[in-house]
Chain A
Amino acid sequence: MYDYEQGSELELIRRSRKGDVKAFSELYARIHVELYKFALYTLKHPQDAEDAVSEAVMAAYENIGGLKKEESFRGWIFKILSNQCRKKFRDTKQTAELETDIPDEEKDYAKAHDVREAFLLLSEEERMIVAFSVFGGYQSDEIGGMLDQKAATVRSKKTRALEKMRRVLE
């Protein structure tokens, strides 16, 4: 048996490209907690987060041939996941438009006592930026690359977002 747990990323990617499910699962296992957290705090509903991760994993598995040699698996699947999250934003917006006006409880700052709720005070874009930074460990320039934005803009947006969160968490 090939020792998957000891396998280098490059070798695991090579095996995955050939359809080796185990190699792919090992790549996934190494970062799955970060991926789930990213989705959980970016999207409103835990169910959406679960779906987004599983859809992203499927997409990644089917398209691992599209992973360039010099790219890291981590950055690549994070990008796929962020696209899935954006898609979910769009979908929820469409359904939300059909719903009647429900008083927006999330704006009630007194209730926002935990991190998840603090996240929900942010705009969708701010949530992604903070999640990329906190759960993905990405720098502003890398986040800029994934969201097609300037590093300086990402930096200032992040500062503003963290400021908002801090106010309600402290």
Chain B
Amino acid sequence: MSFEQEQFEEELKAKTNEVEVPDSLKPENIEKMLEQKTVKKKKWKPLYTVCAAAACCVLVIGIAVAGNGMLTKNNGDLSETADSAGRKSSADSGGVSVDKTIASAEDYDQIYKYIKAEKKNQDKLYGGYGNTGSVMPESRVDDGAMEDSANTAAGSAEKSVSAADQASAYSDTNVRQEGVGEGDIVKTDGSRLYILNGQKIQIVDIEGEEMEDLGAIRMEDDCFVSELYVKDDKLVVVYTRSEYEDGENGYGGMYKQYTVAETYDVSNPKEPKSAGMITQSGNFYTMRVIGDYVYMLSNFQADVQAARDDISSYIPEINGKAVDSANILLPQYIRGSQYTVVASFSLKDPDKKVDSKAIFGSAGLVYVSNENIYVCEGYYNSEDSIVTQTCIRKVAYKDGSLKAVGQTRIDGTLNDSFSIDEYEGNLRLVTTVSATGRSVSPLVLFGTVSDTAEKDSNALYILDENLEELSKIDGLAKDEMVYSARFMGDTGYFVTYKQVDPLFSVDLSDPKKPKILGELKIPGFSDYLHPYGDGLLLGIGMDVDETGTVTNGVKLSMFDISDPSNVKEVEKYVLEDIYSSAVSYNYKAALISTDRNLIGFTAYGQGPHYYLFSYDGKDGFKCLFDRELGSSYEGRGVYSGDKIYIVAGNTVESYAIDGFKKVDDIVL
């Protein structure tokens, strides 16, 4: 942008400073409006009772279902319920198939039908905002229909079992699942650093005392680079790009986003050579690497307005070819607009796709275990269920090939990928269960406009390899939400929070009979949990005072879990005036090595800082290092040999791990 243009924009902004926000839009009035709205909905009660009486016989099944839901909900005393029959009927009621087998699309016509159904649903949604105050049952439909952002409970990506924990000469990205590699913005192979810096991928030699800038791969301006991965002199650069497609008569043209995994041969790091690429429709979501196979996941948004013959607008493509209908997995309901597109390739042959699947529905959180990919989509439909739900589809992977295994639907939504974990073939999940449509829950039908209808609770599920329910504990921690979870073999830990932070420990050794072992209540919360050697669990989160009102700063907690039934917080360290840590949003921002006794992360106060801590039983947490990071927001710590490298934007600083004396720095 030219300087004059910038100046002119400033001028425009200045000239509009006088604008008076109308009274109705003042925050205090918006607050009142929202409060009234909630109250108004509660006032429907008498009307609803009349309606309910009138509709009583029609609702027999519905009531039985809701009743069942309520009973389990009220069954808050941690007792498990093995109610397979009851649940199935409840799931069947909504026109949502709970057939455990995943159906593939017959042809594109079928997909098109789903897209049109989605469009209809969206139109209804947009039409619905105007008459929010009216007592129309339709507004319930609208509330439920807004599931397609499919965020699954604040679910971003996933978190970790640290590969960095292994006694290794150099650190790897903090990953969700041990043995399953992930990309990040900084990677190392022990002798070089690969750094994503805007449009450039910088390669830095770290073998000597002094770092050496080996050069950079410069990407085109329209590439939005997300992540890197390096293995055996192969560097995978993942980026999203858009391409213009003309519409009819040159009007209504559209930009289509696609994800590219381009592999470079970096055996001569001064002259990286492109060895091939794989492209797939949609925005990059995440990647996994197991052995030589790379699995690329993107989210593709179908155009619900698309014409039937405009196939590329609603069917994703891989390497420019539309995905075959047999590889498109249909959702459990007849409607959809988004895909999770999975394509695999081998690092040895990086321009050839090995296999692909397009998981159609609403897209959502993905968890990748050592053998399976689980796509979890939030499902909020107050007509189907009185509580929020999650649809789960399981796709097995091996040596690049992908196979649909099965699907199911459970109550509640996932906080992040640490809330779902595969172990010995079984799947364990902790979910937060909320009423659908918030205050317009159909529970009003019972005349119980009590608080319970709106209160969250939490549930633990154990499913077998076919996703059949083995056991379930529900009604946990009323009115609280899951903030973090960590499954470690036969024991699971999760933190729920409202004002004080109970850390639950669960015995999962008998998958048919999980047992809550303990509940530790402390102020504040941890939103990331990480095993820290024998009998210890590290928590990173926020310290909040007993009343739950004043946030004191970022908190490190060490829990003694040697006796899971009696978990203790043995140590805590509060970083005052530091209001958040990058780990709360992205587990990859953490560097945790029990082997080296290092806990590193970026946290934000006045500006971003990089912190390194150690922990021992005698001295507790010790802050080894605190460095302000210029302007860059995302810092990473990486170690190799006896040095640690702090990478932030275009600068790298190296320090001796012993004593943290600065060795060198380099500006790229």
Report which A residues bind B (CB closer than 8 A). Answer: 1-3, 6-8, 10-11, 13-14, 17-19, 21-22, 24-26, 28-29, 32-33, 36-37, 40-41, 46, 50, 53-55, 57-59, 61-63, 65-70, 87, 114-115, 130, 133-135, 140-141, 144, 148-153, 155, 159, 162, 165-166
Contacts and interface: CB of A to CB of B under 8 A. Distances in A.
A134 B456 contact: no
Interface string B22-34: 1011111011011
The winner among A11, A29, A55, A66 for most chain B CB atoms within 10 A is: A66
Nearest to A17: B154
A150 B244 contact: yes
A144 B242 CA distance: 10
A93 B413 CA distance: 41
A125 to B, nearest CB: 12
A22 B8 contact: no
A14 B154 contact: yes
Interface in B229-262: 242, 244, 254-255
Contact of B585 (A58, A70, A148): A70
23 contacts: A8-B579, A13-B154, A18-B434, A19-B438, A21-B38, A24-B34, A32-B27, A33-B21, A46-B22, A55-B129, A55-B130, A58-B34, A61-B34, A63-B146, A66-B151, A69-B154, A69-B585, A70-B586, A144-B242, A159-B5, A162-B5, A165-B12, A166-B8
B618 interface: no
Contacts of B450: none
Given A144-B255, A148-B254, A63 B149 contact: yes
B580 A3 contact: no
Interface in B241-293: 242, 244, 254-255
The winner among B154, B244, B551, B579 for most chain A CB atoms within 10 A is: B154
B140 to A, nearest CB: 12
Contacts of B35: 21
A92 to B, nearest CB: 15
A87 B126 contact: yes
Nearest to A47: B22
Contacts of A134: 9, 12-13, 16
B25 A54 contact: yes
Interface of B: 1, 5, 8-9, 12-13, 15-16, 19, 21-22, 24-28, 30-31, 33-35, 37-38, 126, 129-130, 132, 143, 146-151, 153-157, 221-222, 224, 242, 244, 254-255, 378, 380, 388, 413, 416, 434, 438-439, 454, 456, 481, 542, 548-551, 579-580, 584-586
Contacts of B8: 162, 165-166
Contact of B143 (A2, A62, A140): A62
Contacts of A61: 34
Interchain residue pairs A-B with the least CB separation, the first 5: A66-B149, A29-B27, A69-B156, A25-B31, A69-B154
A69 B415 CA distance: 9
Given A21-B31, A36-B19, A68 B255 contact: no
A152 to B, nearest CB: 7
Contact of A66 (B9, B146, B542): B146
A46 B21 CA distance: 10
A3 B550 contact: yes
Given A37-B19, A149-B242, 9 more contacts: A2-B549, A7-B551, A28-B30, A65-B413, A67-B154, A69-B151, A69-B155, A135-B13, A166-B8
A33 to B, nearest CB: 6
B197 to A, nearest CB: 16
B416 to A, nearest CB: 7
Contacts of A130: 12
Contacts of A144: 242, 255
A119 to B, nearest CB: 9
Contacts of A37: 16, 19
A134 B9 CA distance: 6
B523 to A, nearest CB: 14
A150 B222 contact: yes
Nearest to A148: B255
A2 B542 CA distance: 15
A3 B549 contact: yes
Contact of B129 (A59, A67, A159, A162): A59
